[in-house]
Amino acid sequence: MPRTFNKAPKQSTAHLGFQAKLWLTADKLRSNGAPAEYKHGVLGLTRTAAAEFGRQGIRVNAVLPGSTATPMLLGFIGEDEGLRRMMEATTPIGRLIDPEDIAEAAVWLSGTHARMVNAQAMSVDGGGVQSR
C-alpha cells in the first residue's frame, strides 16, 4: 500500500541527484543495447523517486553531463589533439564541458530558484544532444 503524507513542508532545499555517464565506442553501441537501457533506468529511477518523495518536499532530478574535462577524460585523450578536437566537435559550443559547469547546474537544481523543478533530466552538454 502506498504511503500518504498529510502535508508537504513549506520550504525545502533538499535535493537528490542521480548521474549517468557511459563511455561507448561505436562498435559497442551498434552491438549492445544495454547502455541505452542503463540511461533509461537512471531516468526511470529519477522519476520514480521524485514521485515517491515529492510529498515530503524532496526533489529528485538527474544531471546528464556531456564530455567533461575531468582528469580521467583528459588522461584518456592524452596528447591526441585529433581525438580532443573530435570530442569538442560533438557540441555546438565546440569545447569540452568544464567540471564547474556541471557543479553549477547541480547547485542551481538544489537551490530555491528551482523549487518547482522535480523529476527532470537536465542535460549539461553544450547542446550536444539537441544537435544530433
pLDDT average, residue stretch 62-86: 94
User: pLDDT tens digits, residue range 85-129?
Assistant: 999 998 899 999 999 999 999 999 999 999 999 999 999 999 987
Q: Over the chain, what is the mean pLDDT?
A: 80
- Across-strand partners of 62? 18, 121
Q: What is the DSSP string of 58-117?
A: -EEEEEEE-SB--HHHHHHHTT-HHHHHHHHTTSTT-SPBPHHHHHHHHHHHHSGGGTT-
Q: How far apart (Å, rounded) are the C-alpha atoms in residues 92 and 89?
A: 7
Cell digits of residue 37: 537501457
pTM of the model: 0.71
User: pLDDT tens digits, residue range 27-40?
Assistant: 444 445 666 777 78
Amino acid in position 55: R
